[in-house]
């Protein structure tokens, strides 16, 4: 959001039903933000295409303009490349 990076990964958390929107590449805790869903939509209106994503699922795409691919988010796999710093 801060640098206008493309959203390529969306997670709908199974435990608390929260949403996560990620750009590609490594991230640190300083990259975390809490934003209103309408801000996410203004940044990338295509997120509406996966608004019905079930909790515990994720949507991924290779780049902006590519179709979203839905898949079950496996509990053992990390949801992001977020690292502690």
- The model's pTM: 0.83
Whether the CB-CB separation of 50 and 70 falls below 8 Å is answered with yes
pLDDT of residue 85: 40
The pairing of strands 82-83 and 27-28 is parallel
pLDDT of residue 79: 55
Q: For residue 3, what are the β-bridge partners?
A: none
Q: Which residues contact 2 (CB under 8 A, 6 or more apart)?
A: 33
Average confidence (pLDDT) over 45-64: 96
Whether the CB-CB separation of 49 and 7 falls below 8 Å is answered with no
Average confidence (pLDDT) over 37-65: 96
Average confidence (pLDDT) over 21-27: 91
Taking all residues of the chain, what is their mean pLDDT, rounded to a whole number? 88
Find the angle CA(20)-CA(33)-CA(78) to the nearest 5 degrees: 40
pLDDT of residue 84: 41
Please report, for the chain, the start and end positions of each structural domain, with discontinuous segments joined by +. 9-78
């Amino acid at each position: 959001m801060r640098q206008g990076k493309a959203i390529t990964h969306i997670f709908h958390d199974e435990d608390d039903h929260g949403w996560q929107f990620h750009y590609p590449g490594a991230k640190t805790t300083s990259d975390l933000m809490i934003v209103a869903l309408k801000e996410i939509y203004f940044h990338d209106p295509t997120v509406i295409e996966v608004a019905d994503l079930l909790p515990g699922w994720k949507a991924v795409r290779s780049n902006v303009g590519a179709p979203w691919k839905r898949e079950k988010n496996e509990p053992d796999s990390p949801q992001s490349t977020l690292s502690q710093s």
